[in-house]
Structures are given as structure tokens and as C-alpha cells.
């Protein structure tokens, strides 16, 4: 059985051309040569398009959501045209409401390209890097800028290389548990507010907000700088969310999992992440239980499911059907 929290998908993110040409926005600097009136045009797709066919009037497949590249091949082709033919080709190309055009290798701009950019308010940018370097740089920046994001209230720690998101009501002991884990040699990623970013289709990265980075609030002690107290090895900036642990008091839920056969899932940005619910009470060492949960998750990822193996063995001994079922995240393949 697979259960979990269902959330509405967040709206798609967008970024403007202006953000891309801001100083220090990327390691790859871009210069706006023409069409500055269109710097607020929206880029809604992280992939670059290199559509040389558009220069001969074939606009099928030309996306108004993607950055367009003119490299040495395209510029060499334009150089073979007469001025009138080049003006007509570039006028038709830039009239398609594309976000912007990036000319690579620092190539000289044709006057017709500058004129078409100004006429249609389409930014014409120049990069001094080769086309491959320019495309990779813009891809990486857009992947980060356009990635879906959400914020979760909780504490995020790295335990044995497993990114564990601790959830629970205020005062349940999330921060105290994280502090104990840090003292045992594990690492703090974020406290109180965890910024989650979708990477690819199935991975969610968690990080701290810039203001709260390296800090942990512990009742009675106040806000602690974990990096200053325990050293740089006690913190990390980012980690994949591999497991969600929801801390609950014994009074909150009476249906505790005693068998460990069924799996439970928590939805973050449409990704179903394994979840465990742990009871918390005075005197119980929650940090030790979280460590065991991390080790158990590593075993499961390696294909070892202790609870199911035990019940399968028990069923064979009793001569009854195997009660274990393969559990998968809703709407996806087998769990990692």
C-alpha cells in the first residue's frame, strides 16, 4: 500500500531576458547589442534552439519560448546573402516574437541584424564564447532559474549520506534531534525553512535560505551557528531529499506501523519521497531512531527490505500465502 500527501503542482516558472544579461547573472557574460526594448520578454523553456532553417523562411518548430542561437555556421550563411536578402531573412526571423537571439564567438553584427532587433524589439545579445560553451552556460543557468520550487517548514539533515527532511508540529523536537545528529557527526542542511527545488523528473534538492544558512534554533539556547560551533564539516549547502521523517507524539496517532511492510510517501513538487512516521515521547532518543531510519533506507535502496523478508520467511514457516506486497509510489515505477 502506498499513501502520501497530495499537493497541487506549482505554476511554471519564467525568467526574463533582462535577468539573463544582468551583470554577474552567469559566469558567461552577455552583451545586449540591439533590441533593448524587449529585455522584459519571457523565457519559458530551459533549452536553447539553433534553428538555421528559420533563416530561409522555414519557421515550423521555431519556439517563441526558447533562446535562439546564431553561431559561426548561421552567420557564415548570412554572409553569403545580399544585403536585401539578409534583411528579409532576419526581419522574418526576429518578427516571430522569440525571447532573444544570441550571437556567439564575439562575431561582428550585421547591420541588418541590428536593424531587425530594433524594429521588432527583439534583444540581440552577443557572447564572446564558442557556441558550445555559450549553449551549456545558458542551459545551466536556465535549468536553475526555471526549476520548480517550493518551501517546506521543517529541518533538513544529511545522515549517512541520506537527505532526511524532519517534519512535525512546532515544539515536537525537530531542532533538538538535528542538534543531536550533528553531535554524532552528521550534517545540518537547513533549519525551520527548507527551499526545495525540482531537479530533473525525480529528484528534489533541499537547501537553506540565505539568511538562515548554517543556523539552528534550539529552545533554551537560542539561535546557534552550527558551522562556528562544530566546524565546516558539520554543515552542507545542498542535499537531495531522500527520506521524510514525520515526528508525532504518541497522542497524535494510534495507528503506528508495527510491521513495516507497507510504504508511505510524501509528495514534494510531484515527486513521491519515502516517508516514515516516528513517535516521540520524553526520554526517547529520537536521533538514534532517525539514524536507524537512514541505514534502513540505504538497505532498501540496495534491494534489501528486512520487514518483507521476515514476513515472507514467517509465511513459509506457517505454510500460508506471503502477505508482503511490492509497494510503488503512486503513478510511478518501483521505489528507489
Please say if 205 is a catalytic residue: no
Residues listed for the chain? 336
Reply yes or no on whether 195 is catalytic: no
In 3D space, the residue among 191, 187, 159, 186 whose CA is nearest the CA of residue 173 turns out to be 191
Q: Which of 58, 153, 184, 284 is catalytic?
A: 153
Q: Which residues contact 247 (CB under 8 A, 6 or more apart)?
A: 166, 167, 168, 172, 173, 174, 177, 278, 280, 286
Please, are residues 333 and 5 in contact by the beta-carbon 8 Å criterion? Answer: no
Strands 101-103 and 68-70: parallel
Contact 73, 38 (CB under 8 A): no
Whether residue 62 contacts residue 95, with contact meaning beta carbons closer than 8 Å, is answered with no
The yes-or-no answer on residue 96 being catalytic is no
Whole-number Å distance between alpha carbons of 48 and 44: 11
- Annotated active-site residue in 158, 192, 205, 267: 192
Q: Is 253 a residue of the active site?
A: no
Map residue 51 onto helix, strand or coil.
coil
Q: Which of 174, 246, 272, 305 is catalytic?
A: 174
Q: How far is CA 23 from the centre of its chain?
A: 24
Contacts of 86 (CB under 8 A, 6+ apart): 78, 110, 112
**Residues belonging to the active site:** 153, 174, 192, 258
Amino acid at each position: 500500500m502506498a499513501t502520501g500527501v497530495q499537493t497541487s503542482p506549482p505554476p511554471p516558472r519564467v525568467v526574463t531576458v533582462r535577468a539573463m544579461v544582468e551583470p554577474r547573472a552567469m559566469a558567461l557574460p552577455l552583451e545586449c547589442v540591439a533590441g533593448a526594448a524587449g529585455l522584459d520578454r519571457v523565457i519559458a523553456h530551459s533549452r536553447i534552439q539553433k534553428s538555421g532553417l528559420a533563416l530561409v523562411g522555414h519557421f515550423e518548430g521555431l519556439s517563441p519560448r526558447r533562446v535562439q542561437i546564431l553561431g559561426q555556421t548561421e552567420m557564415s550563411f548570412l554572409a553569403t546573402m545580399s544585403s536585401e536578402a539578409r534583411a528579409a531573412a532576419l526581419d522574418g526571423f526576429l518578427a516571430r516574437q522569440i525571447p532573444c537571439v544570441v550571437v556567439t564567438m564575439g562575431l561582428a553584427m550585421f547591420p541588418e541584424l541590428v536593424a531587425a532587433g530594433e524594429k521588432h524589439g527583439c534583444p540581440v545579445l552577443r557572447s564572446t564564447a564558442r557556441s558550445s560553451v555559450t549553449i551549456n552556460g545558458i542551459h545551466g543557468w536556465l535549468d536553475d532559474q526555471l526549476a520548480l520550487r517550493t518551501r517546506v517548514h521543517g529541518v533538513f539533515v544529511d545522515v549517512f549520506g541520506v537527505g532526511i527532511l524532519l517534519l512535525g508540529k512546532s515544539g515536537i523536537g525537530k531542532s533538538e534531534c538535528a542538534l543531536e545528529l550533528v553531535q554524532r557527526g552528521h550534517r545540518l542542511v537547513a533549519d525551520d525553512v527548507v527551499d526545495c527545488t525540482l531537479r530533473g523528473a525525480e529528484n528534489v534538492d533541499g537547501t537553506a535560505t540565505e539568511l538562515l544558512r548554517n543556523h539552528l534554533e534550539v529552545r533554551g539556547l537560542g539561535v546557534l551557528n552550527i558551522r562556528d560551533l562544530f566546524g565546516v564539516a558539520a554543515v552542507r549547502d545542498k542535499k537531495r531529499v531522500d527520506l521524510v521523517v514525520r515526528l508525532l507524539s504518541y497522542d497524535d496517532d494510534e495507528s503506528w506501523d508495527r510491521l513495516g511492510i507497507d510504504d508511505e510517501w510524501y509528495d514534494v513538487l510531484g515527486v513521491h519521497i519515502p516517508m516514515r512516521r516516528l513517535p516521540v515521547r520524553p526520554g526517547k532518543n529520537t536521533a538514534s531512531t532517525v539514524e536507524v531510519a537512514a541505514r534502513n533506507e540505504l538497505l532498501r535502496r540496495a534491494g534489501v527490505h528486512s520487514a518483507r523478508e521476515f514476513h515472507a520467511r514467517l509465511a513459509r514457516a506457517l505454510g500460508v500465502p506471503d502477505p508482503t506486497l511490492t509497494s510503488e509510489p503512486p503513478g510511478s515505477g518501483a521505489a528507489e
